[in-house]
Amino acid sequence: MKNIGLIIVDEEHDSSYKQAEYPPKYHARDAAIVLAKECNCPVVLGSATPSIESMHNTNNGKYTLLELPERVDGAKLPKLVLVNTTEMKKKGEMENVFSKMLLSAIDERIKKNEGVILLQNRRGFATQVYCVECAHLEKCENCSVGMVYHIKSNNLKCHYCNAIKPMPKACSMCGSKNIKLFGTGTERVEDELQAYFPSAIIERIDSDTISEKGKLGETLNKFRDGEIDILVGTQMVSKGLDFPRVTLVGVISAESSLWMPDFRAEERTFQMLTQVSGRAGRSILPGEVMIQTCDSGHPLMKFIMNNDYHGFFARDVQSREFRNYPPFANLCLAETKDKDPRKASETLIDLYKEMFNYNRAVSILPPSAALLAKIKNEFRFQMLIKTSRSIDPSASILRDTIAHAYRVFRQKGKHKDVRIILI
Ligand SMILES: [Zn+2]
Ligand SMILES: [Zn+2]
């Protein structure tokens, strides 16, 4: 394209802008900024929940902050209700995964033919299948993860390698028939909801249901026209849907993405819950949002309930500065993968030593097995490599150190066929 005059990156915080899986690996938002610099044109990064990095850049004067304090059409912010599921359980106010409050709010909307969106960010029916007698968890043979029970196909699926096996009738370890299903996925939400509202039209949106081309658009059109009462889905339902008839948004378990060992876990959770809340009451009809969680005391919840982005940002950015994470540090995750765990681990340790001896300005968290230690029959080891922005503003020290270690490994590494992934 010639003569680019303006680049707009909408929902700039969205993590799907980052392509980390296959080369070329890049972040589309950052690429847009580089392109705009070359074309000498402005970039508009739009978001109701800007990424910590972008907001930080408005504070340090790199970007200019433009605010839109009013909602479109003068719509009012929805009313937010936090539902403490632990307390509700004690009081007998829970019906399976739903609080009675949420069920009666849904009932009210169905009677008025208003739309309802329910978010549960896990697909499948039960996220864990385990034996009560011996505590054996049904795991994938190729990956070190539990398999997820899918009720529609009545089988167990691995969400990492797509392996499928039949739902066992008895424990594969001790033979006991006392097998329990734990953890809630979108299928369970849909299934239980249908039992409470037998005449309601419920559709589910997750990667299991929308693989068919055109299916997503078709479902959304029906929902817009009022042919569907309730939409149940993963984070897909939090993104950009603008339907004036939606007056209730329910979150089944808000804490489910907080346990992730990722320095962006809180940011992602804040963005997802704030974004999904924004789907309610986008026009004249007032909206209501019910967020269920067993962790209602989590500091994040206060910011979500008060719709306080700036408060959330101040807390998160301070914690990142304290722990030396982006935007205060340059970060690279190095991963080695191999069918032989010894080779993968030795390679990573060799890289670690090479980097450590090359430049002491680089800090490296010691190599360890990845949280998901085996995926698709390959063992994974990881280490986090950092430099502080104060001494390495353009990340050239970080890049140079990694490039050096990589070069040495390719020349004289013990296991030349081990895969090295740098993200
Ligand atoms: Zn067992
Ligand atoms: Zn697997």
Predicted local confidence at residue 77, as pLDDT: 85
How many angstroms does the Cα of residue 178 sit away from the middle of ligand 1? 8
Residues near ion ligand 2 (Cβ under 5 Å): 140, 142-143, 158, 160-161, 163
How many angstroms does the Cα of residue 174 sit away from the middle of ligand 1? 4
H runs (alpha helix) in 197-323: 215-224, 265-277, 299-305, 309-323
For residue 251, the number of C-alpha atoms closer than 13 Å in the C-beta half-sphere is 35
How many angstroms does the Cα of residue 374 sit away from the middle of ligand 2? 8
Structure-derived torsion over alpha carbons of residues 300, 305, 307, 308, reported in degrees to the nearest 10: -40
Phi and psi angles of residue 182, each rounded to the nearest 5 degrees, phi first: -125, 160
Note the pLDDT tens digit of each residue in 45-87: 999 999 999 999 999 999 999 998 887 777 788 999 999 999 9
Predicted local confidence at residue 289, as pLDDT: 96
Tell me the CA distances in angstroms from 29 to 6, 10, 26, 33, one per residue in order. 14, 9, 9, 6
How many angstroms does the Cα of residue 146 sit away from the middle of ligand 1? 15
How many angstroms does the Cα of residue 206 sit away from the middle of ligand 2? 19
Rounded-to-integer distance, Cα 175 and Cα 155, Å: 18
Rg (CA), the chain: 24
Task: Fill in the DSSP letter of residue 68.
Answer: -
State yes or no: pLDDT of 210 exceeds 90. no
Q: Are 232 and 368 in a shared domain?
A: no
Model confidence at 20, in pLDDT bands (50, 70, 90)?
confident
Question: Is 283 within the bounds of a domain?
Answer: yes
State yes or no: pLDDT of 137 exceeds 80. yes
pTM of the model: 0.91
Q: Last residue of a domain, which of 291, 320, 349?
A: 320
Secondary structure (H, E, C), 29-61? HHHHHHHHHHHCCCEEEECCCCCHHHHHHHHCC
Among residues of the chain, what percentage have pLDDT more than 90? 79
Question: Is 17 within the bounds of a domain?
Answer: yes
Q: Are 416 and 315 in a shared domain?
A: no
Predicted local confidence at residue 262, as pLDDT: 86
Q: Average pLDDT of 278-283?
A: 86
State yes or no: pLDDT of 332 exceeds 90. yes
Q: Are 400 and 355 in a shared domain?
A: yes
Predicted local confidence at residue 222, as pLDDT: 94
Question: Is 179 within the bounds of a domain?
Answer: no
Q: Last residue of a domain, which of 258, 291, 320?
A: 320
Note the pLDDT tens digit of each residue in 366-388: 899 998 999 999 999 999 999 99
How many angstroms does the Cα of residue 382 sit away from the middle of ligand 2? 19
How many angstroms does the Cα of residue 139 sit away from the middle of ligand 1? 13
Q: Are 303 and 343 in a shared domain?
A: no
Predicted local confidence at residue 411, as pLDDT: 87
Q: Are 313 and 361 in a shared domain?
A: no
How many angstroms does the Cα of residue 371 sit away from the middle of ligand 2? 14
Ligand in closest contact with the CA of 170: 1
Q: Average pLDDT of 263-290?
A: 91
